[in-house]
Structure 1
Amino acid sequence: MPIDPLPLAQALLRADSVTPARGAVFDVLEDALAAAGFTVTRFLDGEAPDGPVENLLAVRGTGGPHLAFAGHVDVVPAGSGWTHGAFSGTIEDGALVGRGAVDMKGAVAAFAAAAAATGDLPGTTSLIITGDEEGPAVHGTRALMRHMADAGVRPDLCLVGEPTCVSRLGDTIKIGRRGSVNIWIDVPGREGHVAYPHLADNPVPRLVRLLGAIDAVVLDAGTAWFDPSNIEVTTVDVGNPATNVIPSAASARLSIRFNDLHRGDALVERIRALAAEHAPGATVRGVVSGEAFLTEPGALSAIVSDAILAETGSEPALSTSGGTSDARFLRALCPVIEFGLLNATMHKRDEAVPVEQLRSLTRIYEGVIRRVAGIAQLQS
């Protein structure tokens, strides 16, 4: 049963699904996928405040190769000042407007439509859809991966539909992502009157020395596929409203984006060693959001590139730029790359995708499915 990606995208947009998402937006997607021959499973994971999160796994076909499409239907809060309602799914000047049009309900609708158009092909197609990508990402794709392991579902190739393109549809494929780690530093002191410093212990100079040492660190010069890793100080605080009080503590937070020369836990230990040297007594706590990964150019990137070339007449660039995505988890299952719409309006007011780009993306995804099915035919 064919699916028109435009009304499906509109229906998804009209289902308010600020993260953590559940309910109506999954009803819309399940109805469309069930009509296209998919077996759909939905489940909730987690508790408040970060949950419960709803997740969906849809599978159709048997045998290999198994192509999975991964994405999310949760969105960031709409904010104010929209020309039309953020969840109205309005079409204006040839573009579909709404929170999630680009990131990434448009791509979900496009792949669902492409899958519906290719239902008679050999092999297996699946959709791995979470309601927890824009949030903590604790109860989403990782929970789906556990569910898939229990069900014996393991894809051979995975395409994540995040918005990857910069200036025109098809100009960029992401074949990897840098890792991300956040680090909290707390330097203890002893409060006192500024006129009697010998009765106090000011933690600020120690924190300043530590931050100077951190700022001098050069992690690397980059690699063939990755930019240099970078450490950024994102906040410094002493919580001191007075002008005549030496504070009792000083704190800072770092964000490190790193390439595949590093591991997140090793970077935390490196900062901890600097803290021991320059700010004795400081505590350092790190949380690794994801490790860097690279899917070397190969069969999957060639399939997607060929489908893009056939639709647009241009070959895409292969990139590892940008932030993190759920590909950082899915890489543990199989080769994974990302390709979707233009990212210019994601998370912005009046987020929008031109209708023709939505249809063009659908044709590209259909081309990917058909090319993967061609591999299955060769193997049969």
Structure 2
Amino acid sequence: MSRTLHLAEQLISRASATPDDAGCQDLLIARLTPLGFSCESIVSGPEHFRVTNLWAKFEGFKPSAHAASTQAAIESIANPDNAENSAKTLVFAGHTDVVPTGPLEQWHSHPFMPSHRAGNLYGRGAADMKTSIAAMVVAVEEFLAAHPRPALSIAFLITSDEEGPGLDGTVVVCNQLKARGEVLDYCIVGEPTSVKNLGDMIKNGRRGTLSGKLTVKGVQGHIAYPHLAKNPIHLFAPALAELVGTQWDQGNDFFPATSWQVSNLHAGTGATNVIPGDLVVDFNFRFCTESTPESLQQRLLAILSRHQFEYDLKWTLGGLPFLTTPGTLVDAVRGAILAETGVQTELSTTGGTSDGRFIAKVCPQVIELGPVNATIHQINECVAVSSIDPLKNIYKGVLERLAGLA
């Protein structure tokens, strides 16, 4: 059996629904420690929602330019923390937690008992994203076996709180890394980004998300006496039409235009003869780098003010947009995909948010790359067995390119 497939099955067999890591990270630590990784477990969150995070790092080295003599080279190796000799750092990021299984009786096999059918590996987390983590680990094992002292530092940032609130996962680790001055140069997040074939799409950015809960205040009353009431639905309707018709920005070469959408709208007591006293509207901006949370808030408030009704509004910023333009990491990823699969990958910033939004605050180049995403979060989640080792080879190819070995 493929070592990558075997590790993926071991991870899938652990019932690690958010925030329970269920021993997945211990398994990774057991694989990484013998390679020379320093492994740190960072536990966060309240007692009822304890999150386990793993930060593991292998220090590479890069002899300084003046290390012409053998002795100078030895000294540079012996002092890897010297800024002149420090290697750039590639982080592999991912999550061991998975979404709930849904009704077990609808699965063709138990979601935490990995199984094979028609060339696919089935199990919760097979695509999102335990196969990616397994491929990352085995890629590093093979890379370090061939290049034990690479001119590249390698790290893993793994959390058990990506599918949940995300308050005590990657963001906590990133804040700690920033506080202690840890320098990160490149990051690959193992999100399932492929659409039809492995490597056909990678994410070089994601849109930001800004949500609001708007309460439009009216006056409740009998529907037969509207002059004694004030209908908040009628008050809001013209503003809704304006909001829907507003173009918030034009987008750019990497992002579509910012979109505003209503997700929930609620008013009334359930009775058909009562004008409601208030209207609650839940809405969300998915915004690109052409807009900021502040600019969107200001423009929306201006629209509400023009329609002159009383309201309360609460904002929640879920994440800022991030973008990695073509450069060192994008080139390395594209080259590794092409060499392994022959596919010319497409850059994309579509889809929902990911932990890349936190990592981008402390790392200038962040890319998401993983298996086909057709079954993620679904009953009978699966990944093609034939794609597992090629994914490992792509990750290994990126390591080789960033280390100057390919």
Aligned pairs, how many?
Answer: 373
Report what 2:94 is aligned to: 71
The residue identity in structure 2 corresponding to 1:101 is A
Report what 1:249 is aligned to: 278
| Residues 33-69 of structure 1, C-alpha deviations (whole Å, 9 max, x = no match) | 22333221112111156x3211001111233121111
CA shift, 1:308, in A, is 0.6
CA distance in 2 between partners of 1:151 and 1:229 (Å): 35
The residue identity in structure 2 corresponding to 1:109 is A
CA 1:250 to 1:72, structure 2 compared with 1: closer, same or farther past 3 Å?
A: same
CA distance in 2 between partners of 1:349 and 1:171 (Å): 24
CA distance in 1 between partners of 2:307 and 2:45 (Å): 40
> Comparing 116-125 with 162-171, which one deviates more in the overlay?
116-125
CA distance in 2 between partners of 1:213 and 1:291 (Å): 25
The residue identity in structure 1 corresponding to 2:136 is F
CA 1:273 to 1:283, structure 2 compared with 1: closer, same or farther past 3 Å?
A: farther
Task: Give the TM-score, by structure 2 length.
Answer: 0.88
The residue identity in structure 2 corresponding to 1:274 is I
- SS across alignment from 1:103: helix
User: Is residue 290–residue 324 contact of structure 1 (8 Å, CA) maintained in 2?
Assistant: yes
Report what 1:90 is aligned to: 115
| Residues 187-243 of structure 1, C-alpha deviations (whole Å, 9 max, x = no match) | 112211112223222211112222111111111232111112111111110042101
CA shift, 1:157, in A, is 0.8
User: Is residue 91–residue 154 contact of structure 2 (8 Å, CA) maintained in 1?
Assistant: yes
Report what 2:236 is aligned to: 207
Report what 2:196 is aligned to: 167
CA distance in 2 between partners of 1:26 and 1:151 (Å): 23
The residue identity in structure 1 corresponding to 2:222 is H
CA shift, 1:281, in A, is 1.3
State the Cα RMSD in Å: 1.7
Larger-gyration structure (1/2): 2
CA distance in 2 between partners of 1:230 and 1:318 (Å): 20
- SS across alignment from 1:207: helix
Q: 2:143 aligns with which of 118, 134, 141?
A: 118
CA distance in 2 between partners of 1:35 and 1:351 (Å): 32
Report what 2:169 is aligned to: 140
Aligned: 1:297 with 2:308: no
Q: 1:341 aligns with which of 360, 371, 375?
A: 371
Q: Unpaired segments of 5 or more residues in structure 2?
A: 61-85
Percentage of identical aligned residues: 39
Q: Unpaired segments of 5 or more residues in structure 1?
A: none
CA 1:178 to 1:114, structure 2 compared with 1: closer, same or farther past 3 Å?
A: same
CA shift, 1:151, in A, is 4.6
CA 1:151 to 1:94, structure 2 compared with 1: closer, same or farther past 3 Å?
A: farther
Report what 2:30 is aligned to: 31
CA distance in 1 between partners of 2:382 and 2:297 (Å): 39
* 1:2-17 matches, cutoff 5 A: 4-17=3-16
